[in-house]
A = this chain, B = another copy of it.
Amino acid sequence: MSVIPDDTHLQIGSLLFEGLDQIDLTGPFEVLSRLPNSTYKIYARTAEPVRDLKGLRLVPDATLADAPQLDVLHIPGGFGQEALMDNDEVLGWIRQQAAGALSVFSVCTGALLCGAAGLLMGRRATTHWASFHLLPFFGAIPVNERVVVDGNWVFAAGVTAGIDGALRLAAELRGSEAAQLIQLGIAYAPEPPFNSGSPETAPAPILEQARQAVQDITARRERTARRIAAGLGIDV
């Protein structure tokens, strides 16, 4: 990826779907909507408001069918991703947009959607820690980092990693000064009150509870991933 000339307008767009994890979208929106000379719009299957997995309602700007070719395609994740793993309309849209985009930006289990679209073959990628072991089923090379850049793709790990990934992407697109200006505007100098944000640092009983909380959805995701792997001819 190289910095895009300042006078080139950027069309940025997010996929919005029922049951997404809203900050997978709103974190990147907060950063990338501040890029100079750009338009950021939200696209969904219909024009109706969409509920995130905790009930927050977001309104799309247009339907998938009405989206122009995007320069930056952003795919968020969340439990609702699982219901779209066989959805030809959504997967076809991701495939078509990704083919023409300057950058593709996957956050959290948005990576699984990109995988189901067949776009992760041989790609270095990351996703939420609870789904990290599923990446090889899509032909991806798992990289346990918070943000992974592979060619014109940027992958952010779980949920709030989308903010870090978006700042990285902002720098790739418009240079590091533009990204730093955004970071200062949104006062992103994080001070988590605990050190419990990753499996490597969380206390063991907390990690065990967190794993149990996502046990069912993780099992469903694994069954889907195995089925997709078979379809892609991947032997994991």
Interface residues, chain A, with chain B CB atoms under 8 Å away: 21-23, 26-27, 29-30, 33-34, 40, 42, 49, 54-59, 61, 108, 128-129, 146-147, 157-161, 163-164, 167-168, 171, 176-177, 179-181, 183-199, 201-203, 205-207, 209-210, 213-214
Residue in B180, B199, B205 whose beta carbon sits within 8 Å of that of A203 in the complex:
B180
What is the CB-to-nearest-CB distance from A229 to chain B, in angstroms, rounded to a whole number? 25
Whether the pair B183, A159 counts as a contact (CB closer than 8 A) is no
Whether the pair B167, A194 counts as a contact (CB closer than 8 A) is yes
Contact A177 B206, CB 8 Å, known A184-B197, A197-B190? yes
Whether the pair B203, A188 counts as a contact (CB closer than 8 A) is no
What is the CB-to-nearest-CB distance from A80 to chain B, in angstroms, rounded to a whole number? 15
Number of copies: 2
Residue in B34, B189, B206 whose beta carbon sits within 8 Å of that of A184 in the complex:
B206
Give Cα A179–Cα B177 distance, bound, in whole angstroms. Answer: 34
Whether the pair A209, B190 counts as a contact (CB closer than 8 A) is no
Q: Which residues of chain B are near A203, meaning CB under 8 Å?
A: 180
Question: Which of A21, A168, A210 gathers most chain B CB within 10 Å?
Answer: A210
**Which 3 A-B pairs have CB atoms at the shortest separation, nearest pair first?**
A158-B187, A189-B197, A180-B196
Whether the pair A184, B167 counts as a contact (CB closer than 8 A) is no
Can you list 25 A-B contacts (CB < 8 A)? A23-B26, A30-B54, A33-B55, A59-B59, A129-B187, A146-B189, A146-B191, A158-B186, A160-B186, A163-B190, A164-B192, A164-B193, A168-B193, A171-B193, A171-B194, A177-B205, A179-B194, A180-B203, A180-B206, A181-B196, A181-B206, A187-B197, A187-B198, A190-B192, A190-B197
